[in-house]
Amino acid sequence: MSLTVLNAIIAVVIAIGFAALNAAYLVWAERRGAGRIQRRPGPNVNGPLGLLQPLADGAKLMTKQLMIPGGADKALFMVAPVLAMAPAIMSFVTIPFSDVIVAKSMDVGVLMIFAFASLGSMSILFAGWSSRNKYGVMASVRAVSQAISYEVPMLITVITIVMMTGSMNLHDLAVSQAGGFWHWNIIPSLASPLMPVSFLIFFICSLAETNRAPFDLGEAESELVAGFHTEYGSMGFGLFFMGEYANIVIGASLITILFLGGWGCPFGLFPSVFWFLLKIYLLIATFIWIRWTFPRTTIYGLLNLSWKILIPISLFNLLLTAGLLKVF
Amino acid sequence: MGAYFSEIFRGLQSLAIGMGITFREFFKPVVTVSYPMETLKMSARYRGHIELVEDEKGQPKCVACGMCQRACPSGCISLASESVEYEVEEKGETKTKKKKVLTKYNLNFTTCSLCGQCVENCSFGAIDFSKEYNLASSRKEDFHFDLLQRLKERNS
Amino acid sequence: MSAPIHIQPGETFTLNVGPQHPATHGVLRVKLEMDGEYIVHAETVLGYIHRMHELMGENRTYPQVLPNLSRLDYLGALGYTHGHVLAVERASGIEVPERAEYIRAITVEMNRIASHLFWFGAFVMDLGGFTPLMYAIQDREYILDILERVTGSRLTYCYYRFGGLYNDIDDEFIPATKAFIPRMRESLKKYDALVTGNIILQKRLKDIGPLSKELCRKYGATGPVARGSGIDFDVRKNEPYSVYPEFDFDIPVYHECDSFARYKVRMDEMEQSLRIIEQGLEKLPDGPIMPAKKPKLIKPPAGDYYQAVETARGSFGIRIVSDGGKNAYRFKLRSPTYSNMHLFDEACEGMLIMDALALMGSLDLVIPEIDR
């Protein structure tokens, strides 16, 4: 019993460390990447290549005063940033980084991650509502309607994959794709000819779920100032920021496990954690690349995309796969 | 139905084109100048704040006629002068003559709009634009320049 | 999406956009009465950056007003100073050498491109895309470098003088400008592929923010705003001034009346400005840049003078009433965005806030120019 508790504590500490480190250095990567895309150097003063910039930022955020606006709902206002960070860290517990590196392999791992992902939109709602700011309320309402409409096609896509594999365990999902890239779920097979489309749908949905551009309506700075975290400063803002990047890592991990063969090598040799990390960071680089290329969608454009395009196509794919699985 | 799919396809294509452009830009060299470490050379006509021009003897060319003061739209130039007597040798005899000598030439750079009216109105070429642009301070007194003093410092 | 909505009284809330807000690009304040994300009523509030330029124009001698004009619209300053010198030249009957007029036209068009480039970047940034702004600024910097070498300043130029120019162009101007034209054409192609063709942008702009022809007429809108609504009016063609009749260029007009039409008008105008610059460099005559005979003191005879010019934002008019003295008796500036902005109150009713701010971006407002 005590060993299990110890196990869990170690897992959580590692998860927090991994999430925090990722958040800090993904901000750096994002700023450097954006700089290169815009033909400027990005942060380059603190340390070699600006590598100490996240430390400076962290020190700055932590030393600032935590302001609570007058008339705010204090309890919710304080809980919201924690709620943004905590589910993201919890989700790490069940993600298998390789055959052996996994804190807790669960049979309902996929469901658990989605359950925690929904909690994330709760924190946005809390933040916007409690800060007594009109911009914040508008942004949080947007973010929630966005989260609801994008979870649908995302889950339908996952159902398709779960149906093909017959398991909801992330470990099993990854193992079923082992042995070279031609076994990966993204490659269309006889039973699932529309898999690349599914991948695209899932990718778009994870962009929307993590509130990334071009779907960052919750923090559309040109109309809603800073969206739901307008009133947050200091580490409250820092936690939202870290939560966002932790969510990106989870989104990328999920895509990797569901579609890109998890920790498997593309050529079927030496499966290891190295391949997993390579894949998720390539996906994150794509996220950053997309963010600095496109303008933001509108709220109705976003909902139209989900309800008129993503959901019908993913439903069609689900039915098609179900039918073909019966045939083959 | 065809329009539905063709719109999706065209949309995706336009997004891919955009991403291609940013991808290519990613590998192009940086165009910015890291300012405090590197600086640019100002062009020959750059208009900084004005500066007095000296003659061969190192004295200001200014004759204190006050044209610049009158031409200035913002009234940021103030100058003062005094008459001094000096002796010249003319046709073998020494004569005493009077001339105006500049004693004070102050520029209040906080209100200057760098229009160049003063330089244009000066008939003696006694003022010119400097190339200085690294001006920063938190006190406005730092922008009240004593141009005569600056000229002396430049010469010493 | 911008169909009018009907709501019960007492269900709305007021949202203050500005004076400090990322979308207003300055100190414009918009009081929005909102029903959720829909705008029920809007009211633009001015006066946060009023500097009494008109009164200053009446208190100072004519040459002393010169620097004021470039402080109106800091993005396209040369167009405004051009209007001023033309008005005073017309009033006091000063002949301008042809070379000076050509250089004026070339530099004004370059400034117009710089202004449109900055608008392009800021507009796309309003829509959430940050990178095009950086690309636009790179090209704009190139223009500013050329103009700095000639005029001595980068933003608030004071280059034109009554009768001519402050100084002649330098040796590098012509080769640098000639090198700039193909570079800019290349960039315009890039913007077309990166931004204009982008499906997200098109969805956000097409059929959004309709400004009917009647509305534009009612509020006296000019420039790209009016031309995006099918009004074929450009001062350069309709009331030719300076050397513009010598140039062969088109006035882009779109009849869709939406934000995308206004966007396209400006993008096409940049191409037309390039054509004007190209022809101007070809035809540039030799000669003096200041007239041989010029009155020492500018004292226009008593009378009422008006001169309109086409600036980057529309028709800028300047009216000088002289009583024969060395100051103007009345100095009236008709700024284009003042009229263009007031469309917003009426046009944005019933729109979503996102679309309304896209509409505001497409009007290309420069606040110091509205609030003179």
Q: What are the residues facing B98 on neighbouring strands?
A: B85
**Token duo for residue A278:** 């390579």
Asked whether the beta carbons of residue B115 and residue C193 sit closer than 8 angstroms, the reply is no
Confidence of residue C1 (pLDDT cuts 50, 70, 90): very low
Q: Could you tell me how many CB contacts below 8 A there are between chain A and chain B?
A: 36
Lowest mean pLDDT among A186-190, A309-313, C89-93, C260-264: A186-190
Query: Is the pLDDT assigned to residue A177 strictly greater than 70?
Result: yes
Answer whether A83's CB lies under 8 Å from A123's CB: yes
Pick the CATH number of B50-155 from 3.40.30.10, 3.30.540.10, 3.30.1360.20, 3.30.70.3270: 3.30.70.3270
C253-300 confidence digits (pLDDT tens): 988 888 889 898 999 999 999 999 989 888 888 888 888 877 778 888
Q: Is B116 on the interface with C (CB under 8 A)?
A: yes
Residue B129 has a pLDDT of 86
- Say which DSSP state C350 is in: T
The number of beta carbons lying within 10 Å of the beta carbon of residue B42 is 17
Q: Is A307 on the interface with B (CB under 8 A)?
A: no
Question: Which of the residues A32, A305, A309, A313 would you substitute to probe the B interface, choosing the one with the greatest number of B C-beta atoms within 10 Å?
Answer: A309
Asked whether the beta carbons of residue B21 and residue C167 sit closer than 8 angstroms, the reply is no
Residues in B touching C137 (Cβ below 8 Å): none
Residues in B touching A39 (Cβ below 8 Å): 25, 28-32
Question: Which of the residues B5, B8, B21 would you substitute to probe the C interface, choosing the one with the greatest number of C C-beta atoms within 10 Å?
Answer: B21
From the list C124, C298, C313, C187, the residue with the least C-alpha distance to A294 is C124
Residues in B touching C150 (Cβ below 8 Å): 45
B38-50 confidence digits (pLDDT tens): 888 888 888 888 8
Residues in B touching C193 (Cβ below 8 Å): 17-18, 21
Question: For residues A326 and C253, which has the higher predicted lDDT (pLDDT)?
Answer: C253
Distances (CA, A) of C283 to A164, C277, C286, C366: 73, 10, 10, 33
Q: Is A41 on the interface with B (CB under 8 A)?
A: yes
| Chains touching chain A, criterion 3+ CB pairs below 8 Å | B, C
Domain count, chain C: 1
- Within a domain: C345: yes
Select the residue of C138, C156, C190 nearest B31 (Cβ to Cβ): C138
Mean pLDDT of chain C: 86
Confidence of residue A318 (pLDDT cuts 50, 70, 90): confident
Residues in C touching B47 (Cβ below 8 Å): 152-153
Residue C2 has a pLDDT of 46
Q: Residue C70 belongs to what domain range?
A: 13-370
Cβ-proximal residues to B67 (8 Å cutoff; 6+ apart), any chain: B118, B121, B122, B123
Question: Which of the residues B113, B130, B131, B132 would you substitute to probe the C interface, choosing the one with the greatest number of C C-beta atoms within 10 Å?
Answer: B113
User: SS3 helix, strand, coil % of chain B, rounded to 5?
Assistant: 30, 25, 45
Cβ-proximal residues to C78 (8 Å cutoff; 6+ apart), any chain: C70, C104, C107, C108, C110, C111, C147, C157, C159, C160
Confidence of residue B98 (pLDDT cuts 50, 70, 90): confident
- Within a domain: C6: no
B120-135 confidence digits (pLDDT tens): 888 888 888 888 888 8
Residue A197 has a pLDDT of 86
Residue C4 has a pLDDT of 53
Residue A2 has a pLDDT of 62
Select the residue of C60, C151, C200 nearest B73 (Cβ to Cβ): C60
- Say which DSSP state C45 is in: E
Query: Is the pLDDT assigned to residue A246 strictly greater than 60?
Result: yes
Query: Is the pLDDT assigned to residue A226 strictly greater than 60?
Result: yes
Residues in C touching A216 (Cβ below 8 Å): 128
- Within a domain: C358: yes
Lowest mean pLDDT among A98-102, A209-213, C140-144, C262-266: A98-102
What's the gap in Å between the CA of C197 and the closest CA on chain B? Answer: 6
Asked whether the beta carbons of residue C195 and residue A301 sit closer than 8 angstroms, the reply is no
Select the residue of A33, A292, A309 nearest B8 (Cβ to Cβ): A309
Select the residue of A223, A292, A294 nearest C357 (Cβ to Cβ): A223
- Within a domain: C28: yes
Asked whether the beta carbons of residue A222 and residue C135 sit closer than 8 angstroms, the reply is no
Confidence of residue A275 (pLDDT cuts 50, 70, 90): confident
Helix (H, G, I), strand (E, B) or coil at C15: strand
Asked whether the beta carbons of residue B32 and residue A36 sit closer than 8 angstroms, the reply is no
What's the gap in Å between the CA of A69 and the closest CA on chain B? Answer: 31
- Report CA torsion sign: A168, A169, A174, A176: negative
Confidence of residue C8 (pLDDT cuts 50, 70, 90): low
Asked whether the beta carbons of residue C197 and residue B17 sit closer than 8 angstroms, the reply is yes
Residues in C touching B44 (Cβ below 8 Å): 149, 170
Query: Is the pLDDT assigned to residue C103 strictly greater than 80?
Result: yes
Task: Output phi, psi for C35, to 5 deg.
Answer: -120, 95
- Report CA torsion sign: C21, C24, C27, C28: negative
Answer whether C85's CB lies under 8 Å from C309's CB: no
Asked whether the beta carbons of residue A39 and residue B25 sit closer than 8 angstroms, the reply is yes
Asked whether the beta carbons of residue A40 and residue B29 sit closer than 8 angstroms, the reply is no
Helix (H, G, I), strand (E, B) or coil at C223: helix
**Can you give the residue ranges of every domain in chain B?**
50-155
Mean of pLDDT values over A267-276: 75
Closest residue of C to A134, CA-based?
C15
Query: Is the pLDDT assigned to residue A206 strictly greater than 60?
Result: yes
Answer whether B130's CB lies under 8 Å from B112's CB: no
C226-236 confidence digits (pLDDT tens): 888 888 888 88
Q: Is A105 on the interface with B (CB under 8 A)?
A: no
The number of beta carbons lying within 10 Å of the beta carbon of residue C16 is 13
Asked whether the beta carbons of residue B19 and residue A292 sit closer than 8 angstroms, the reply is no
The number of beta carbons lying within 10 Å of the beta carbon of residue C66 is 26
Amino acid A82 reads V
CATH number at C342 reads 1.10.645.10
- Say which DSSP state C61 is in: B
What's the gap in Å between the CA of C171 and the closest CA on chain A? Answer: 30
- Within a domain: C2: no
Taking only residues 294 to 323 of chain A, the set having a beta carbon closer than 8 angstroms to any beta carbon of chain C reads 294-301
Lowest mean pLDDT among A102-106, A163-167, A300-304, B127-131: A102-106
